[in-house]
């Protein structure tokens, strides 16, 4: 501090205190909230983070910054957040995989979702839909299963990665139908979709929200919804239950989490803000055009959903002997 500064403080302490308080307070209020996303830029998770983040700024009166840290089925992003200060300024936006699938999928996981992360808010959910290429000529699940019987090599279904929600849906489908199925893993949804459109594989299970545009253009044909009810975005597509194929229920959700130790009042504040954000016109427009369902749960209710899904996917992973980093 300069000599001038020291003299100034001695001569005008009350005035400086008042001025510094006025200056510091807005700076503290404007400390940015970092939303760490477990997906690359441009994907559905990233889009959700940015659409909601823009509205969240208005509700919290605070800048919101989205950081993309893809990899490890969400493990890289999760470990980043679990090491952050639990003050509510670092959040984790993830889908089901990093929270409810990874604990059973990985023999060695560098974080524990149940111990290291607190549920903040469920944002959206989307069922998996089975699609085939228009080039295949297949128009129904019945026709796909006929091919599985008559083709010596069975059928091939692509996934966005080992342990991904498309992989979980395929496992359910294979168990329910006993179809001869080759699972073809890709490094993300985009190449898996491209391979399906091009006919390199017979089909793909994916989020309705990520496939609805390809379906609208006619490049992909939807033949079954992995949910207990039909999708509002694809009302003419039957559920597997309706087709007589039971227990093919794969719902992918996207939610927000904070490091364990974040004050409960901060969790409540963020939950309230996000639930309000999901009702704004801008977010509702995105949700409706993407075939998503919005969530509206208290943190404890979201926690219950996570516990149920962790048990469900853990049992399936064990039954199918799906493992990583053995």
Domain that includes residue 175, residue range: 127-226
In a domain, 72, yes or no: yes
Indicate whether 89 and 137 sit together in one domain: no
Pairwise CA distance, residues 73 & 94, whole Å: 10
Indicate whether 166 and 202 sit together in one domain: yes
State the total domains in the chain: 2
Tally Cβ neighbours within 10 Å of residue 278: 20
Indicate whether 117 and 263 sit together in one domain: yes
Indicate whether 76 and 112 sit together in one domain: yes
In a domain, 61, yes or no: yes
Indicate whether 121 and 131 sit together in one domain: no
Q: Can you give the pLDDT at residue 110?
A: 87
CATH number of the domain at 302, please: 3.40.190.150
Indicate whether 115 and 159 sit together in one domain: no
- Eight-state DSSP code of residue 324: B
Pairwise CA distance, residues 85 & 81, whole Å: 8
Q: Can you give the pLDDT at residue 30?
A: 57
Pairwise CA distance, residues 50 & 44, whole Å: 10
Query: β-pairing, 220-226 with 90-95?
Result: unpaired
Indicate whether 257 and 311 sit together in one domain: yes
Indicate whether 133 and 217 sit together in one domain: yes
Indicate whether 131 and 120 sit together in one domain: no
In a domain, 270, yes or no: yes
Pairwise CA distance, residues 73 & 101, whole Å: 9
Regions of the chain with pLDDT less than 70:
1-30, 325-326
Indicate whether 72 and 119 sit together in one domain: yes
In a domain, 116, yes or no: yes
Q: Pull the structure tokens for residue 63.
A: 């800048």
In a domain, 3, yes or no: no
In a domain, 267, yes or no: yes
């Amino acid at each position: 501090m300069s000599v001038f500064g020291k003299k100034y403080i001695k001569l005008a302490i009350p005035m400086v205190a008042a001025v510094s308080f006025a200056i510091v307070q807005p700076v503290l209020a404007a400390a940015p909230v970092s939303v760490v996303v477990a997906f690359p830029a441009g994907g559905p998770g990233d889009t959700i983070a940015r659409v909601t983040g823009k509205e969240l700024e208005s509700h919290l009166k605070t800048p919101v910054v989205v950081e993309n840290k893809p990899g490890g089925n969400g493990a890289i992003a999760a470990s980043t957040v679990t090491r952050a200060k639990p003050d509510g300024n670092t959040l984790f936006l993830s889908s089901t995989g990093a929270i409810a699938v990874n604990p059973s999928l990985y023999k060695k996981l560098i974080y524990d979702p149940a111990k290291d992360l607190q549920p903040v808010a469920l944002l959206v959910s989307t069922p998996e839909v089975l699609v085939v290429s228009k080039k295949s000529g297949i128009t129904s699940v019945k026709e796909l299963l006929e091919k599985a019987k008559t083709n010596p090599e069975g059928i091939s279904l692509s996934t966005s990665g080992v342990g991904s929600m498309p992989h979980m849906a395929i496992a359910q489908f294979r168990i329910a139908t006993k179809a001869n199925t080759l699972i073809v893993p890709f490094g993300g949804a985009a190449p898996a979709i491209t391979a399906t459109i091009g006919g390199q594989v017979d089909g793909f299970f994916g989020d309705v929200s990520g496939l609805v545009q390809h379906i609208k253009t006619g490049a992909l044909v939807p033949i079954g919804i992995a949910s207990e009810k039909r999708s509002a975005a694809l009302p003419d597509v039957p559920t597997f239950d309706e087709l007589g194929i039971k227990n093919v229920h794969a719902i992918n959700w996207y939610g927000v989490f904070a490091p364990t130790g974040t004050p409960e009042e901060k969790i409540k504040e963020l939950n309230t803000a996000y639930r309000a954000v999901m009702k704004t016109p801008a977010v509702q427009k995105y949700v409706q055009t993407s075939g998503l369902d919005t969530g509206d749960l208290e943190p404890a209710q979201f926690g219950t959903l996570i516990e149920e899904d962790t048990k469900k996917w853990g049992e399936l992973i064990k039954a199918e002997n799906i493992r990583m980093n053995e």
